[in-house]
Amino acid sequence: MRFITNGCLKCYHIDEAGNEQILQFGIEGWWINDLYSYLTQTPAKYFIQAIENSSLLQIERNALKKLYNESPAIERFFRIKIQNAYVALQDRTIYSMSKSAKQRYLDFRTSYPNIDQRVPQYMVASYLGITPEFLSSIRNDITNS
């Protein structure tokens, strides 16, 4: 489990064609993890990489399990964090299937105003599931509206 104390990171997957697909950004005060790998104890499917100089706090799985046994409050905290991560994943899946690219970008800017200014446009495009050129077109459309 990784907690970001400073900086900006991305969690991404590389598809068969070698394209990077960003699943999550993380900034100060956020958690960033490959929860699938963590929960199933299988090799990682995602990469986590710093976009800016960053500092993280990390706790190893066995140490966290020991804390769970010693402190029900810690176990409850992480259970809620994992539940919230699952809900966010479901929302992101439905959101990406039901909204236009322009609306996804507008919602992204509203929901994550700090991130839009901190990461390159091509990474935002990857997160939204569109090309950087299409994102540029959307941004120009918004600016000229």
Q: What would the pLDDT profile of 18-67 be if each residue is shown by its tens digit?
A: 999 999 999 999 999 998 898 899 999 999 999 999 999 999 999 999 99
- At 30 the pLDDT is 92
In Å, what is the CA distance from 124 to each residue of 4, 61, 84, 91, 109? 19, 31, 22, 18, 10
Phi, then psi, of 126 in degrees rounded to 5: -60, -45
Q: Rounded to an integer, what distance in angstroms lies between the CA atom of residue 129 and that of residue 126?
A: 5
Q: Rounded to an integer, what distance in angstroms lies between the CA atom of residue 62 and that of residue 60?
A: 6
pLDDT at 68 over 90: yes
Q: Could you say which DSSP state residue 17 is in?
A: T
User: Would you say how long the chain is, in residues?
Assistant: 145
Residue ranges with strand state E in the chain: 2-6, 8-14, 20-27, 47-50, 55-58
**Average pLDDT, whole number, for the chain?**
91
pTM: 0.85
Residue 82 burial class via C-beta count within 10 angstroms: exposed 0-12, middle 13-18, buried 19 and up: middle
